[in-house]
Structure 1
Amino acid sequence: MSQATRGIYAATETYNWGKLKDGENSKLFEPVEIGAWSLKTRTAMAPMTRCFADDETGVIGEDVVEYYRKRAADGVGLIITEGVLVSFRGKGNPKVPGIYTEEQTEAWKKVTEAVHTEGGTIIAQLWHVGRLSHNDLTKGYPPQAPSAIAAEGNVPRFRKPYDTPEEMSLADIEELVGQYAQAAKNAMDAGFDGVEIHGAHGYLIDQFNSDFSNHRTDRYGGDLAQRLTLMKEITKAVIDTVGTNRTMIRFSAHKSDAPTYMWEDPERAIQTFVEAFKEVGATLLHPSTMDFNRVIADGKTMHQLVRKYWDGVIVGVGTLDPQSAEQALVEGTIDVAAFGRPLVSNPDFISRLKNGNDLEEYEARKHLPVLV
């Protein structure tokens, strides 16, 4: 098992957060307008793959409907779904859902209806894992990637080494951009309030962003600014489909297959990403890190560096606790605080925070999320 996989499957996680100073008056529980959405609170449910879909069809069932309904009913402001595939070739775990067929899209309608009945807001995270897969998961086709370079480690929950991918042709890339746009349209047809583009954690879009997985010499290769070409094309295509106020983009330095990776010049890298997002008209960012409080350059954390160059919406994430989330909201570093595993083990997470009640511990064997 790889180091990344061991981190994902940590046996337990204990919460010892204490009470918020202002209780129900905390900034966490304020309503807020971001993008096209009127959120009940400044909280978000971070995307976490559940692997509860039918393995053959990628269609979700009633258990997924109830799972998201409970979190909406408790007052989570913004629910970001588990990663939802834009193509069968984007599959990197067994039993992950898709949104590229009519049957998959129809099944998601029950989820969005349930969330909206509870007054919640939900967006679909659009996902393609690229080289972090195996041909047994992609109907015999090799995984897709910017270059034919295999990742190190094993596919989570599949226990087979990552397969050697095939380098995507220009036609493949054009098709991929269209798949993201179509998936975004399908998401809106399914009743979602918007979408998040997963451009982080070493998956396909991020593989194009990274020098160790992208050795191309065409317009999709080169320095960081040039390697962001695919991310820009996908973001623009999705924005053109659903609108910038319904399109969130997630990016990171962290890679699932290289968990210690960091940009050589973090501040310059973040500035380059932000310039790219501004170029295509993005307005909603979800910078992702495994440790929200980690200083990475010039005495600043990732989210503080993003804020230095970005005056749009920022969703913060990375093992946040209520105190650090509250501080970041008050300082204006972030606009919404996203929580992951605590929301898996506590469907009444918001109520427990408001009332100062203890949280149920997260246990991997019991709750089984794969962080994406």
Structure 2
Amino acid sequence: MTADLFQPYALNASITLNNKILMAPLTRCQADDDLVPTQAMADYYARRADAGLIISEAVIIRPDGQGYPNTPGLFTPEQIQGWQRVTSAVHAKGGKIFAQLWHTGRVAHSHFFGGQTVAPSAVKIEGTVPRQRELAYETPKALTTDEIAQLVADYSQAAANAIDAGFDGVEIHGANAYLIDQFLHHDSNRRDDEFGGTPENMARFPLAVVDAIVNRIGNERTALRVSPGAYVNMQGDSRDRAVFDYFLNQLESRQLAYLHVGIFDDALTFEYLGGRVSDYVRGHYSQTLVGVGSYSAETGAQAIADGRFDLLAIGRPFIANPDYVVRVRDRQPLVTYSDEMLAELV
């Protein structure tokens, strides 16, 4: 049943994957105190190079994007050099790897960078920072139009830095209630200027980021993750449906490397989307779609066979099984993931 997962897949004329199993982005908080990737991280990714494509853990594009301890950056020469060790190790094993570009927006915390958090609107989220529970979330500053333009430039520069670091491409993190996603949902975007209020306005900044990166490194090396369903650090709003109807239609013409559904469990359904997020996106986007969210190899292969998406991203099982692809291919038992595994890179 899983045999089709091991067939090559051409993302475009420039990039062909060895198989249809992707390693999903998995935040590990293992960079050093300067947010530089370590040799242990290079070894960790190299052990998983059998994946058709590795999507790196989310990588901060600039200091005020940091919302968790020791998450790696891609904005200093030292960080770029650290990632060069990672990409070289993956390529030496015959793998491919994209960098997931990240700004956490209102999920950031001044503790990490000493400045003010920023977001579409001055609307805070409740709760505390994971792994540093003594830090309560702060009310962000609403971005000015000039600051939004600077962010677009910073995303573009981060994409160029990723190519300099040896990545095969980038996945823009536009999902899971982080900065780009915050512009696309009414709960977090309460602006009344050209970046809020209507689907066209709310999608303006995300599309500007996509276009700037495409212009910088090429559409064939640019991908995007999206979360039409609000389910973490965000309240859903039926008006969000119109925003994503418009946004996905606009993305269709960009000829991206792929679009990646952002959901932790694709069994979740959303009334305003008419069901599962992946099915909603598939209904509005005809090009390469990556499914994710608590799938096994078997259920993921069936979803691909049913036409629900084209490629399967696997998350936590890759933490527990560095040789996940080989184990599935050879029908070997999998090691069960447990949270204790997050303490070290194996």
TM-score, with length taken from structure 2: 0.93
Identity %: 37
Q: Does 1:33 align with 2:41?
A: no
Q: CA offset at residue 255 of structure 1?
A: 4.5
**Partners of 1:42 and 1:77 within 8 A in 2:** yes
Q: CA offset at residue 363 of structure 1?
A: 1.4
Alignment-mate amino acid for residue 120 of structure 1: G
Alignment-mate amino acid for residue 40 of structure 2: D
Residue 44 (structure 2) aligns with: 67
Residue 245 (structure 2) aligns with: 271
**Partners of 1:220 and 1:229 within 8 A in 2:** yes
In structure 1, C-alpha distance between the alignment counterparts of 2:274 and 2:116, rounded to whole Å: 43
- Please, which runs of 5 or more residues in structure 2 have no aligned partner? none
- Alignment match of 1:83 (pick from 58, 65, 72): 58
Residue 90 (structure 2) aligns with: 115
- Alignment match of 1:145 (pick from 106, 110, 119): 119
Q: CA offset at residue 314 of structure 1?
A: 0.4
- Please, which runs of 5 or more residues in structure 1 have no aligned partner? 1-20
Residue 12 (structure 1) aligns with: none
In structure 1, C-alpha distance between the alignment counterparts of 2:27 and 2:320, rounded to whole Å: 14
Secondary structure in structure 2 of the residue aligned to 1:362: coil
In structure 2, C-alpha distance between the alignment counterparts of 1:164 and 1:132, rounded to whole Å: 10
The change in CA–CA distance for 1:145 and 1:270 in structure 2 (over 3 A counts) is closer
Deviates more, 1:282-291 or 1:85-94: 282-291
Secondary structure in structure 1 of the residue aligned to 2:112: coil
Q: CA offset at residue 295 of structure 1?
A: 4.3
Give the alignment of 1:259-298 within 5 angstroms: 261-264=235-238, 268-278=242-252, 280-296=254-270
In structure 2, C-alpha distance between the alignment counterparts of 1:201 and 1:337, rounded to whole Å: 18
The change in CA–CA distance for 1:235 and 1:165 in structure 2 (over 3 A counts) is same
Q: CA offset at residue 263 of structure 1?
A: 4.6
In structure 1, C-alpha distance between the alignment counterparts of 2:189 and 2:27, rounded to whole Å: 26
**Partners of 1:345 and 1:367 within 8 A in 2:** no
Secondary structure in structure 2 of the residue aligned to 1:131: helix
Residue 182 (structure 1) aligns with: 157
In structure 2, C-alpha distance between the alignment counterparts of 1:174 and 1:265, rounded to whole Å: 26
Alignment-mate amino acid for residue 256 of structure 1: V
- Alignment match of 1:51 (pick from 21, 29, 52): 29
The change in CA–CA distance for 1:231 and 1:368 in structure 2 (over 3 A counts) is farther
1:82-128: CA deviations, max 9, x gaps? 00010000000010100011111111111111111111110000000
Give the alignment of 1:214-363 within 5 angstroms: 214-252=189-227, 253-258=229-234, 261-264=235-238, 268-278=242-252, 280-296=254-270, 300-363=275-338
1:161-193: CA deviations, max 9, x gaps? 111111111111111100000000010011100
In structure 2, C-alpha distance between the alignment counterparts of 1:331 and 1:368, rounded to whole Å: 37
In structure 1, C-alpha distance between the alignment counterparts of 2:326 and 2:304, rounded to whole Å: 19
Q: CA offset at residue 256 of structure 1?
A: 3.1
Alignment-mate amino acid for residue 171 of structure 1: D
Q: CA offset at residue 299 of structure 1?
A: 6.4
Q: CA RMSD in A?
A: 1.9
Q: CA offset at residue 279 of structure 1?
A: 5.1
**Partners of 2:186 and 2:240 within 8 A in 1:** no
1:22-77: CA deviations, max 9, x gaps? 5xxx111111111332111100000011111112x1111100000000000xx210
Deviates more, 1:140-149 or 1:305-314: 305-314
Q: CA offset at residue 335 of structure 1?
A: 1.4
The change in CA–CA distance for 1:270 and 1:172 in structure 2 (over 3 A counts) is closer
TM-score, with length taken from structure 1: 0.87
Q: CA offset at residue 269 of structure 1?
A: 4.8
Alignment-mate amino acid for residue 202 of structure 2: R
Q: Does 1:154 align with 2:128?
A: yes
- RCO higher in 1 or 2 (8 Å CA, sep ≥ 6)? 1
In structure 1, C-alpha distance between the alignment counterparts of 2:201 and 2:146, rounded to whole Å: 19
